[in-house]
Every structure is written in structure tokens, then in C-alpha cells.
Structure 1
Amino acid sequence: MKRSKTQKTIQQQSKTKIMKTTVLTIALLFIGFSAFAQEPDQEFRTIFNNNGIRSNGGYGAVTTGYSKIADRHAILMGGHGAWLINHQFGLGFGGTGFVTERKTDTQLNDRYSVAGGYGGLRMEFIAMPNSPIHLSFPILIGAGGVTYVEAGRDYEFAREEDSQAFFVTEAGAEIEINVIKFMRLSFGAHYRYTSDIDLTYLDTGAPIMDKDALRGLSGTISLKFGKF
């Protein structure tokens, strides 16, 4: 009998505890929903802040960089410019030229380089632009051309073996530093994706390089001047 009474007492205490917990939970939920309902409607925010274009700016930039192209060291030189909307969204155009180191081609018995360039529409999103150091995420969509060309000691280009046009998409991330009001310095890492490359030797028709020879990572340094 004592055990039975003890068990009943424990069960009653347990039920009471569960009821108290349930009531407390319901009360907290009710308070939370009430507080939420009393707050004003939250706006769905976009890069234009639902108020249209609030500010305009623009800039021009010069860029230099490094990449591996066709398993060769390559120098990149280029520039871009953009219209800046609300300090956070850039829309413009960009272009990059490249040339690789010279290497001896055993089939042609001379030194050759891979040279070319590409450009197109450039868009970028800038995170926290007013911060002294912030991030930018650009993407370029366009086209270009590449050639396999005989190169002298001072890179005087002579005989062209083959050339081709290609499509390109390049996306990246950049760390930007607000140096002064009208100048920014950026360090970027980009990945370049191109359509297949099909350069061949004139005499034999054998491929000169792999189809993905232009695809790969690049590192860049840029100076930007304008109204940010």
C-alpha cells in the first residue's frame, strides 16, 4: 500500500510539473506572437533598398595579374569601368590581355608564346562599401581570341601558327581597400572558364594545346579611381 501511495504521489507530481511546463510554454509563445504582431511590417530589402536608385557613381580601373595558361606562366594586363548604383552594384565593361612565357616548340623548331585577350559585360556586388576594407564579387561574361605565335627575345610577334575565338565567363572575389575618397586598391582571385580551345599545327593538324588550356585561376591587383 505504501508503495502504491508513493507511486501515486510521484505520478501526481509529475503530471503537475508537465502541466506547469505546458502552461509556461504556451504563455511564452503567446507573448512572442503578441510582440511580433505589434512590430511594424518589415520591408523586404534589396540592393536598391526599395527606394529605387538613391545614388550614382562610377569608376575606371587598371589591372595587372598572373595566371597559368597552357601550362605556362602568363602576365595579365587589363582594365574595366562601371556605373555604380547605390554604392553596392556595378554595371560596366572590362577587358584583359595576356601573353605567356616563350617556350621552344620542337615541331616548329622555334620559340612560341600563347597570346590573346577577352572582354565583355562586367557586373559586381560590393559588400559594406563604406567600410575601409570590404569585399567585392565581380563576374564577367564575354568573348575573346587566342593565338599561338612565334615570339622573339623581346616578344616581337612574327609567324602565327593558329588562332581562334572563344567565349568566356570569369567570376571572382576581391578584397578592396578605401585608400582615399576617390581611389581604391583591390586584390582579387578569379576563375576563368572558356569554351573549348582547338588550336592545331598547320602541317600535321595535331593539337597544339589541351582544350581547357585557357581555364584556370588568376590573381590580380587593381587600382580604381572614381566616385564610389
Structure 2
Amino acid sequence: MQPIINYDVYNYRNLKVSTMKQFSTFLLLLLFCFTNTTNSQESEDYIEFNDRKNIVHGVYLGLGFHYGTIDEAETFSSSFKVAYVANQQFEIGFIGTAFYTDLNRLGLDTNNKDLAGFYGGLHIEPIFFSKSKVNLSFPILIGAGAAALINDDVNDDNYGIVDDDDWQHVFVVEPGINVLYNINRYIQLEAGVRFRLSSRVDFQPEYDLERINGVSAGMGLKIGVFNMGRNRYKKKIKNDI
């Protein structure tokens, strides 16, 4: 006796199985397409991200103190600067310097005179080994200022008085070499040597000085935002090789 086959139920089951297979296939294809699209977008974003030239910007205020000589006399100077730092590899800004030279130590006949002055101008400083804790830099100052002889005799009624006509205008170029130490991304120490080159001055007959050239050494402190060379966008990549 042959079993009775209900072809309606059989066809319905086959249709149902076929439909489920097609639906499953469609879901798999849809999932594959979605995954592929997502990966493509992530890959494109990653490539676009890595292709960006991420320049780390910074700005700081600096204060420095130096000791040196002018015409073999002890010279003390202090400087203030504000500068912009590009990618921790190059600085550009403004620097102002004031100096005082103790001419009395030379045993001159006119030992009641000392030399004082100021100058300022463009500050440029290329930096090497910028990603390290310790950097090497070659700063240069290009600017102008003035210098004058001041009365250092406390018993003189004209003590410390300098007339406008006594100031000698000077043009100054001051190259140097610095070692920079990065304490953190906000504080940096510097120590170095610089050499001052100036145009001519004329203080005769009081003092025979042609230029305020001299070598000085000292230290300085910079406070600002240096970013320490960090690439903030790298933090978003979990599997960074």
C-alpha cells in the first residue's frame, strides 16, 4: 500500500525551505556588503587620517639670565621672549634684552661710569632632536637697541642720570647654541652660549668703546604649551603598529 502524499503540504514545505534559504542567503549577502562597506570606510578614513600632515603647534613665554663680558668688563643681562613653535622643530617670535656692564671693575680713571642698554627684535630658532627629552637648537636674534654710559657715583648729584643725547643706537645680531630640556609639555629649560655682534658706538671722550660685542652664557625658563611632539590622532587607532 503506497503512502498517501499530500502534495499541497509537500509543495508548501519545499517552498518554505526554499524561501528560508533564499532569505538566509540574502541576509548573508547583506551582512557581507555592510561589513565590506564599513571596512572600506574605516580604511579610507584611516588612510585619509594618516595622510594628514599633523603639525603640532605651540606657544610660550620665556625668561633668561646671562653672564658675559663687554670689552672685558663683567656684563649681566636678562631677556624676555614670546614665540610660536611649529612641530617642535622651529621657533619664531620676539625677544627683548636688557644689559648692565660694570666698567668700574676695569680700574679706569673715569670709574664712575657704567654701561647699560637694551635691544630686541626677531627671534628665530631651529631645533634638532625635537622628539627627544633633550634637544639642541641654534637661536639667532636680529634687532636693534641703544646703549649709554650712566653715572655710578652715588655722591654725584647726577647719579644714574642719562640724557637723551647720550644714547647710542645700535644694530645687533646675536647667534647662539642652546641645549633644551623638556620637563613636561608645559615647561622647558634652556642653557647655552651666545655671541653678540653690534654696529659701532661712540662714547668718546668718556670711554673708548667701538662696539658692544661680547660672549655670554646663561640659562632660561620657558612656560607655555609645547605638546611635546604628541600626535593626538594616534590615540584613536587601537591596533597601531
Q: What TM-score does the superposition give when structure 1 sets the normalisation length? A: 0.68
Contact 1:62 1:222 (C-alpha < 8 Å) held by counterparts: yes
Aligned residue for 2:194, secondary structure, equals strand
Following TM superposition, by how much is the alpha carbon of 1:159 offset from its aligned partner in structure 2, in angstroms? 5.1
Distance in 2, matches of 1:176 and 1:119, equals 22
Number of the residue aligned with 1:226: 224
Cα deviation, 1:25-54, whole Å, max 9, x if unaligned, reads: xxxxxxxxxxxxxxxxxxxxxxxxx97672
User: Are 1:190 and 2:190 counterparts?
Assistant: no
Distance in 2, matches of 1:209 and 1:226, equals 43
Number of the residue aligned with 2:23: none
Task: Name the one with the larger strand percent.
Answer: 1
Q: 1:145 to 1:53 in 2, by over 3 A?
A: farther
Task: Name the one with the larger helix percent.
Answer: 2
Question: Which runs of structure 2 are paired with 1:67-82 in the superposition (5 Å)?
Answer: 67-82=68-83
What is the identity, as a one-letter code, of the residue corresponding to 2:125? E
Number of the residue aligned with 1:210: 209
Q: 1:158 to 1:211 in 2, by over 3 A?
A: same
Question: % of aligned pairs identical?
Answer: 30
Q: 1:208 to 1:183 in 2, by over 3 A?
A: same
Q: What TM-score does the superposition give when structure 2 sets the normalisation length? A: 0.64
Number of the residue aligned with 1:157: 160
Number of the residue aligned with 1:127: 128
Distance in 2, matches of 1:198 and 1:129, equals 43
Question: Which runs of structure 2 are paired with 1:1-228 in the superposition (5 Å)?
Answer: 54-103=55-104, 105-107=108-110, 111-152=112-153, 157-158=160-161, 162-200=166-204, 206=205, 208-212=207-211, 214-228=212-226
Distance in 1, matches of 2:181 and 2:76, equals 23
Q: What is the RMSD computed on CA atoms of the aligned residues?
A: 2.2
Following TM superposition, by how much is the alpha carbon of 1:117 offset from its aligned partner in structure 2, in angstroms? 0.8
How many residues are aligned here? 169
Distance in 2, matches of 1:113 and 1:90, equals 34
Distance in 1, matches of 2:197 and 2:52, equals 36
Aligned residue for 2:183, secondary structure, equals strand
Contact 2:176 2:194 (C-alpha < 8 Å) held by counterparts: yes
Question: Structure 2: which 5+ runs fail to align?
Answer: 1-50, 227-241
Following TM superposition, by how much is the alpha carbon of 1:112 offset from its aligned partner in structure 2, in angstroms? 1.2
Question: Structure 1: which 5+ runs fail to align?
Answer: 1-49, 201-205
Aligned residue for 1:157, secondary structure, equals coil
